[in-house]
Amino acid sequence: MRILAIESSADDSGVALVEAVGKFGDDFRFSVLANEIASQHHEEYGGIYPNVAKKEHQKNLPILYEKIRAQHPEKPDVIAVTTHPGLEPCLWAGITFAQKLAEQWGVPVVAVNHLEGHIVMSMMKFQTNEIRQHSHILGYVGMSGRLHHFDFPVLSLLISGGNTQLVLSKEPLRYEVVGRTRDDAAGEAFDKVARMLSLPYPGGPHISRLAAASREHHEMSSHGVRLPRPMLHEDNLDFSFSGLKTAVLRMVEAHKPLSDDMKKAIAREFEDAVADVLVGKTLLAVEQCGVNTVITGGGVSANAHIRGRLANALSDAGVKFFVCEPALSTDNALMIALAGYFRAQAGEYTDAAHLRADGSLSLA
């Protein structure tokens, strides 16, 4: 089956073409025929401006599609499109484009949950290691892969700019949200703290760079920098990052103007605090849900410090840990193609005319 996928949930426009065979299990295989992406830059807004992003999607999606069609003019078997969750104006740009293609080609459509895309992407094991070294250039084209081997139930930790959730799956493609943020998502907190430190948007990589510089020089988290670990010791699986963000704001205001050393100290302590909470809550969920496999995806999963902390903690606990390739942790159409394939395998098609955007629809 050939799946043409469209992703436009936030500020990245993506179109991908994937060929896949087999059911969810050891016989599943896929290859990447095309994977195009166009990223927007909203630094002047300090975040994503939905109506501007929508117009960029409307401009970018046809361009990306034509690049793919030039190499693969044949009709796909199915079109997969992100319909939820995300920024609704952005989602509508992708949906409208998918509707036009479905009418043009006369092929069925599947609606894909963006979060499921991140989960499914993180379950994949790429088999072409030599190409992976250059994946940022090749867009993973020519690569093949399959599912990691694991048994259900599994726990997924989704950490991105819009979501921080712990999701339990007792069987393939079925989800129960067992923990979620009560306010800011982890990635959102990174961006807001970066703004307080006068760092560019998106803020995550810049905070990580300062934090890594502090660790590299064996600097202590001095200058009186100590931040809370919200809800870490509460007996539930929910998160809260708003209070942590507020604590950073108070520290920044108390030490203006910030020296470079103070910025590094705050960045390091903030990143450590987020990592402590994510690791602590994940370990608690492992214990409460009785799982031996954890899957992590979403843009924040590309953070090297957080990935390392999770990997070490779960290894010590005897738990398998699968995390998305960093280059594919941000929004992309490849993950939508893979999730869409499994939905098509289950016969979960949607009348293209009835596709609707839903900014907040949950996995469960």
pLDDT in tens, 211-230: 999 988 765 545 668 999 99
d(CA 167, CA 189): 21
Kindly list the distances between the CA atom of residue 149 and the CA atoms of 199, 214, 321, in Å, as whole numbers in the listed order: 40, 38, 11
Tell me what percent of the residues of the chain surpass a pLDDT of 90. 83
pLDDT score recorded for residue 339:
98
pLDDT score recorded for residue 133:
52
pLDDT score recorded for residue 49:
76
| Confidence class for position 303, pLDDT limits 50, 70, 90 | very high
pLDDT score recorded for residue 46:
57
pLDDT score recorded for residue 14:
97
pLDDT score recorded for residue 162:
87
Please list, residue by residue across 334-358, b when 16 or more beta carbons sit within 10 angstroms of its beta carbon and e when fewer do: bbbbbbbbbbbbeeeebebeebebe
d(CA 218, CA 81): 47
Pick from 161, 191, 165, 190: which is nearest to 296 by CA?
165
148-179 pLDDT, tens digit each: 999 999 999 999 988 999 999 999 999 999 99
Domains and CATH numbers, the chain: 2-149+331-354 (3.30.420.40), 154-291 (3.30.420.40)
| Confidence class for position 202, pLDDT limits 50, 70, 90 | confident
The residue whose two tokens read 């999730």 is 339
Catalogue the E-assigned strands of the chain.
2-7, 12-21, 29-39, 78-84, 109-113, 124-126, 144-147, 154-159, 164-169, 176-180, 293-297, 320-323
pLDDT score recorded for residue 360:
86
The DSSP line for 264-291 is HHHHHHHHHHHHHHHHHHHHHHHHHHT-
40-95 pLDDT, tens digit each: 765 555 567 788 999 999 999 999 999 999 999 999 999 999 999 999 999 999 99
- Could you say which DSSP state residue 199 is in? P
Task: Find the range with the poorest average confidence among 144-148, 241-245, 341-345, 358-362.
Answer: 358-362
Q: Which residues contact 29 (CB under 8 A, 6 or more apart)?
A: 20, 21, 22, 144, 145, 146
211 within 8 A of 305, measured Cβ to Cβ: yes
The reply to whether the predicted model has a pTM over 0.85 is: yes
Q: Which two tokens stand for residue 75?
A: 């009709």
* Average of per-residue pLDDT values in the chain: 92
pLDDT score recorded for residue 39:
85
Going by DSSP bridges, is the β-strand pair 109-113/78-84 parallel, antiparallel, or unpaired? parallel
pLDDT score recorded for residue 361:
78
295 within 8 A of 154, measured Cβ to Cβ: yes
Kindly list the distances between the CA atom of residue 2 and the CA atoms of 28, 77, 214, 301, in Å, as whole numbers in the listed order: 14, 5, 47, 28
Cis peptide before 257 (omega within 30 of 0): yes
